[in-house]
Structure 1
Amino acid sequence: MKPRFLSSVPSPTMFVPWVPGGGPMPTKEPIYLSYDEYESLRLTYIEGLNQEEVAERMKISRGTVWRCLESARNKLVRMMVERRPLIIADKPPQPPEGPST
């Protein structure tokens, strides 16, 4: 994978759906938004850059930017429609490796 340039790496952040009345949130598998996806969204929708400019900033191809944006939008919509938590982190946590019992 080609290295990407990110203006800053956000600390892992979680967004959870609001439950009216403050009841407990049903446990659902979270959706993970990668740092690449986060940065491509930020540059496109907050800074107002086009895909070519985003690609230049992140030092990746325009096609990769398009894939990052498409994946990020899909994840955001699934998070809202399915009422699942969204975590901004590079990778889901891995279970500890060790001897199986």
Structure 2
Amino acid sequence: MARPRKRRIVCKLPNIKVYGPLDGNIHDEPIILSVEEYEVIRLIDLEGLEQEQCAERMGVARSTVQRMYTEAKQKVADSLVNGKILRIEGGDYILCEEDNNRCISCNRGRHRHRRGKMG
């Protein structure tokens, strides 16, 4: 029997969930970027975290973050270079807990997570 998959902690869902070419030249199926892959890109590229810090925030191993980050970058590159629609949807995640728009554990706005309450 396979080991159950560990749900990843995500701070918040993206406001915009579909990206793509504006010229109307859409022939391919959309590329699906999971919510967790979006969160990895947000934490590493936007917030400037190292993979270990990102893994701690998301409650997974660094190797898991490395794999998700590699796959996410490939999907984003495919969308940009080949003019494909990119949709952010699905995955196996939980949202962090908030109190007055702040994640409870770190008190630094909406970008931190409570550890230990995963389900």
Alpha carbons 1:12, 1:87 under 8 Å: kept? no
More helix by share: 1
Where structure 2 has 5 or more consecutive residues not aligned to the other structure, the ranges are 92-119
Identity of aligned residues (%): 37
7, 16, 19: which one aligns with 2:20: 16
Alpha carbons 1:12, 1:89 under 8 Å: kept? no
More moved, 54-63 vs 1-10: 1-10
Bigger-Rg structure (1/2): 1
> If the length of structure 2 is used for normalisation, what is the TM-score?
0.68
More strand by share: 2
> Number of residue pairs matched?
87
Q: Deviations over 1:36-83 (max 9, x none)?
A: 100000000111100000000000000000011000000011111211
Where structure 1 has 5 or more consecutive residues not aligned to the other structure, the ranges are 92-101
Identify the residue that residue 62 of structure 2 maps to in structure 1.
62
What's the secondary structure of 1:5's corresponding residue? strand
Deviating runs (4+, > 4 A) in structure 1? none
Give RMSD over aligned pairs. 1.4
The structure with higher relative contact order (CA 8 Å, sep 6+) is 1
Identify the residue that residue 73 of structure 2 maps to in structure 1.
73
